[in-house]
Structure 1
Amino acid sequence: MSVEVSPPFVIPGKPRSEARGIKARRQAPPPPAPTTRVDAALDRLVISRALWLSPILLLQAVLCFRLTNGLEEDEALSINAGHQMIGHLLHGTATPAFGRYFGGIPSVFAVPAAMLDHIGGPDLVRATNTVLVLLATVLVYLTARRMVGQGAALLAAAVFAINPTTIFVARFASADAPCLLFLAASLYFAVVAVERRAYPWLAGALLSTAVAEKYVVILFVPGVLITAAAFNLRTLGAQQTRRLMLRITIATLLGLAVWAAVGHGDWSGFGRNALGGHTIDEIAGLTLWRDGWDYVGVLALASVVTAAVLRGRRWLTVVLCAAGLIPVLVEIVYQESASLQRNIALSMVFLAPVLGLLGAALLSPGRFLGARAPLAVVGSAVLLSSGMGTSAAMIHGWPTSTSINSALRYYAHDGSQRFLVDGSDLPAYYLSDVTSYGQWSSTLDDRYASPGGVTRLRTDIESGAYRLVLYRDNGATPALDRSMIPTLRTRYTLVAKVPVTNDNNHAYWSLWLSELPR
């Protein structure tokens, strides 16, 4: 069945040929007229369109703020890095080459995150990220309203708000939330670039900043440009659209050049983490495909069906689907698994308007409404249930060091002692009041992760180089952890073994204390 949808917005009272002369006037056109009967019904029901977005934002805030957990390793790394960079700026203290570990320029997020942490701890960092994702939802709504109409835009905002990946990003203290906001803002200003002379340059600046936050956004840059071109082509014509896209492209390149100059010493992780980064353990391709399907498979299928069924905006929906799905496919094909679930939130910026258009078509009065409406209701219930359940599993699924911190605090002290952990940023953060960052080493360091690392690790442990050694079952470097156990049993004493989480008795933290005199 095909559903007829009216063409995109054209300036009222002006033929399309005159609309191409919009450059000379530079007057902001009014919001697009209703494109479906759902839009007309909404406009009759309420005076303020913003009232319809408020419940969606309230629901999203509730879904986000209900979730909490101890810091995850990447969160601790970001905040620790920010504190170290601030210390370097203020006191000249030496800092590690954090650029190797980040999927973006470290200082862009880490320094503001450390400032927020100093004021209100990790909770304030996460709360700020939640607000940024709420703002991204508003921008998704505004963009979708331009492209697909009022009713579909509200549904698009709802789909974006309750998606588990966006909820996860909102409660994760990393660069993902500001990156999501910058990407959504760049798409909006690219779509409305014709309305103000500054908008193309603003779109490019925001897009380059999103790339600086997370290098993986470079996969979405063509999608932003092509989406804006597909939307504006019918009203501006080919020549004017090309000029508009050229300005956005130039602005993006200039922005990237500025960020490259500002963070010239921090780009060492670009080659390693440009597509999101690998995990330490190899993950089978089929596992990544399964994870991708779990996170976005049904929504991707629904988006493709929408692009195939709906007339009137077929090319726009096809472009949106491609812009959202191709980066995910690239990450899976290249097995860039480290932040796949977070990067899918970026794809939702493009997929949400398509899904909103599908929802509006299902709810439009007309033939077969009795068959279409239940599909929309069931789909909404499934999306909400998935958003609540999957996001909770994602937030509560990572290991924390909460259970072992008290034992570490008893044995670890500031000074010349050194401590080895398979992921050192968690204890380094929680024990920053009694130890210094330089005392902590990780089995993730190049000294042990590079060829010959097993031998070097065994030698260091035999010599008692570390006062404490901490690892967990199925940790970040399980092969290295297993290789050092025989040596630990001869040179160290197991002083603590506690579950990683209270409800998981299958994974334990193991803390070993050196028997050699110091």
Structure 2
Amino acid sequence: MAVISTSTTKAITRSITRKKPWTLSPPTAWPLFLILATQAIVSLATLHNTAFQDEGLYIYAGQQLFRYWMGGPAPLENYAFYFSGYPWVYPVIGGILDKVGGLELARAYSLFCMMGVNTIVYFCTKKIFQRPAAIFASAAYASLGTVLYLSRLATFDAMCLFLIALGTGLAIKIGTSRHSWLALLIGPLLMLSILTKYAAMLFSLPVLGVLVFTSLAFLGWWRMILRLVLALISLAGSMVTTYYFVDKSAFHAISGTTTNRVAEIIKPRLELFLHALQMGGLVWAAALVALVLIFRMDKRFRLTALLLFGSSWLVPAYHIYEQEGVSFDKHLAFGLFFAAPLAGFALAWISGHVQHSFSFARVKGRHWLVGLSVILLIFMLGSQQSQTIYTQWAHTGG
């Protein structure tokens, strides 16, 4: 019996390593292209406003820092002392883009990052739950109001979320292939995401958890341990290197804006909870259905599913506990990134597209209209919510 188990494991490993899940081909990837195009068009066509105060501050600071980099005068302020991300990362990028093509180019960079996040949602879901679930997951995520909003906001958030998503996608890639050395890339990616925005620290453990549980599900204990050790070594090395080069006044900003933040706009916890459900309740509900299905029918992905669902609630839990209303709408996109693959699986199951890779039989009948209706409902709510958020600050143009 042990011999059969070993050969089966090896066969699964060989099958995994031959597969190239990250390759785009027109016959299979066209739904993703259509979803990304829709995400871009809706964001560009419906969200219009002059610069938000954070956008103006980060771009202005970035231009000052870039001039200083090029031999100009020193910046007027020590931005590292109070920015919620290291000023030499995103603000410099935003400042350069604004200098080249104005605010719209800086916002286009955020749109590009959010489209990248959605692409990773697609491929991560496809790797674990197959293509139908990936299409539903990507469509649901692109339709969320918080995602559309971040796609048109030139702040730390879109780039930070892209790096977190990239780390998660890399963790799944490493956990399903024999190339263990790729785990050395996770540390620098996590460190760069934290430098982009310090709130990314909240998602470092979930990314490592995805690596652990995916490796355990596909490759076994020993390969999982090797990958985790390599990832931790690279993370420790990245932290030491960063500490050596970073402006030490940034530690004050980390405490003041993230780890020991004082709530600026205090809101009742129930109000924040209900607002979170309003913004992403349909996705979380579908994710919960998927969690129940996986726990009942396929034990291999139980830990991964539980981790994804729990990670999706880290942001709401933090804001609700702190009673912090500032940036709540933006940060929900971070949590819902982890819920999207589960939601995609649930919608694929409801629509009758669950494949035989799972231990339970394929659902009979194709109730695809149910899944499509849920996506359309998320889209209608999301487009309206994003427009409401995007007009919250006063228009200062002529």
Check conservation: 2:273, 2:316, Cα contact below 8 A: no
| Aligned residue in 1 for 2:391 | 396
Which stretch of structure 1 is more off in the superposition, 329-338 or 49-58? 329-338
| Aligned residue in 1 for 2:48 | 68
| Aligned residue in 2 for 1:506 | none
| Aligned residue in 2 for 1:316 | 304
In structure 2, how many angstroms separate the alpha carbons of the residues matched to 1:49 and 1:284?
Answer: 46
In structure 1, how many angstroms separate the alpha carbons of the residues matched to 2:67 and 2:107?
Answer: 22
Cα gap change, 1:104/1:191 in structure 2, threshold over 3 Å: closer, same or farther?
same
| Aligned residue in 2 for 1:338 | 326
SS in 1 for 2:229: helix
Alpha-carbon distance, 1:188 to partner: 0.9
Cα gap change, 1:402/1:170 in structure 2, threshold over 3 Å: closer, same or farther?
same
* Residues 36-115 of structure 1 mapped to structure 2, 5 A cutoff: 48-66=27-45, 67-89=47-69, 90-115=71-96
Letter in 2 for 1:375: V
Match of 1:384 among 379, 384, 388: 379
| Aligned residue in 2 for 1:176 | 157
Alpha-carbon distance, 1:378 to partner: 2.5
| Aligned residue in 2 for 1:285 | 269
Cα gap change, 1:293/1:238 in structure 2, threshold over 3 Å: closer, same or farther?
same
* Residues 348-359 of structure 1 mapped to structure 2, 5 A cutoff: 348-359=336-347
Matched, 1:229 2:212: yes
Q: Mark the runs of 5 or more structure 1 residues left unpaired by the alignment.
A: 1-12, 33-45, 404-518
| Aligned residue in 2 for 1:302 | 286
| Aligned residue in 2 for 1:262 | 245
Matched, 1:219 2:202: yes
Deviation readout 1:143-168 (Å, 9 max, x if unpaired): 11111111111111111211111111
Higher relative contact order (CA 8 A, sep 6+): 2
In structure 1, how many angstroms separate the alpha carbons of the residues matched to 2:102 and 2:263?
Answer: 28
* Residues 61-210 of structure 1 mapped to structure 2, 5 A cutoff: 61-66=40-45, 67-89=47-69, 90-193=71-174, 194-210=177-193
Letter in 2 for 1:124: L
Alpha-carbon distance, 1:246 to partner: 1.9
| Aligned residue in 2 for 1:28 | 17
In structure 2, how many angstroms separate the alpha carbons of the residues matched to 1:60 and 1:199?
Answer: 31
In structure 2, how many angstroms separate the alpha carbons of the residues matched to 1:138 and 1:29?
Answer: 22
Letter in 1 for 2:54: D
Alpha-carbon distance, 1:295 to partner: 2.0
In structure 1, how many angstroms separate the alpha carbons of the residues matched to 2:144 and 2:97?
Answer: 26
Cα gap change, 1:68/1:255 in structure 2, threshold over 3 Å: closer, same or farther?
farther
Structure with the higher fraction of residues in strand conformation: 1
In structure 2, how many angstroms separate the alpha carbons of the residues matched to 1:73 and 1:168?
Answer: 15
Cα gap change, 1:237/1:367 in structure 2, threshold over 3 Å: closer, same or farther?
closer
Alpha-carbon distance, 1:279 to partner: 5.3
In structure 1, how many angstroms separate the alpha carbons of the residues matched to 2:217 and 2:110?
Answer: 37
Letter in 1 for 2:256: R
Cα gap change, 1:141/1:400 in structure 2, threshold over 3 Å: closer, same or farther?
same
In structure 1, how many angstroms separate the alpha carbons of the residues matched to 2:285 and 2:253?
Answer: 34
Check conservation: 2:98, 2:106, Cα contact below 8 A: yes
Alpha-carbon distance, 1:254 to partner: 2.2
In structure 2, how many angstroms separate the alpha carbons of the residues matched to 1:117 and 1:281?
Answer: 30
In structure 2, how many angstroms separate the alpha carbons of the residues matched to 1:117 and 1:277?
Answer: 30
| Aligned residue in 1 for 2:314 | 326
RMSD, aligned CA: 2.6
In structure 2, how many angstroms separate the alpha carbons of the residues matched to 1:387 and 1:281?
Answer: 24
Match of 2:370 among 372, 375, 382: 375
Letter in 1 for 2:7: P
Q: TM-score, normalising length from structure 2?
A: 0.86
In structure 1, how many angstroms separate the alpha carbons of the residues matched to 2:111 and 2:363?
Answer: 41
Q: Mark the runs of 5 or more structure 2 residues left unpaired by the alignment.
A: 354-361
In structure 2, how many angstroms separate the alpha carbons of the residues matched to 1:336 and 1:256?
Answer: 29
Matched, 1:16 2:8: yes
Alpha-carbon distance, 1:242 to partner: 1.6
Alpha-carbon distance, 1:316 to partner: 2.3
In structure 2, how many angstroms separate the alpha carbons of the residues matched to 1:281 and 1:322?
Answer: 26
- Number of paired residues? 374
Alpha-carbon distance, 1:253 to partner: 2.7
Sequence identity, in percent? 22
Cα gap change, 1:113/1:213 in structure 2, threshold over 3 Å: closer, same or farther?
same
Letter in 1 for 2:53: E
| Aligned residue in 1 for 2:359 | none
Match of 1:245 among 228, 249, 254: 228
Letter in 1 for 2:10: E
Larger Rg: 1
* Residues 459-470 of structure 1 mapped to structure 2, 5 A cutoff: none
In structure 1, how many angstroms separate the alpha carbons of the residues matched to 2:86 and 2:216?
Answer: 35
Alpha-carbon distance, 1:47 to partner: 6.9
Alpha-carbon distance, 1:125 to partner: 0.1
Which stretch of structure 1 is more off in the superposition, 326-335 or 76-85? 326-335
Check conservation: 1:223, 1:324, Cα contact below 8 A: no
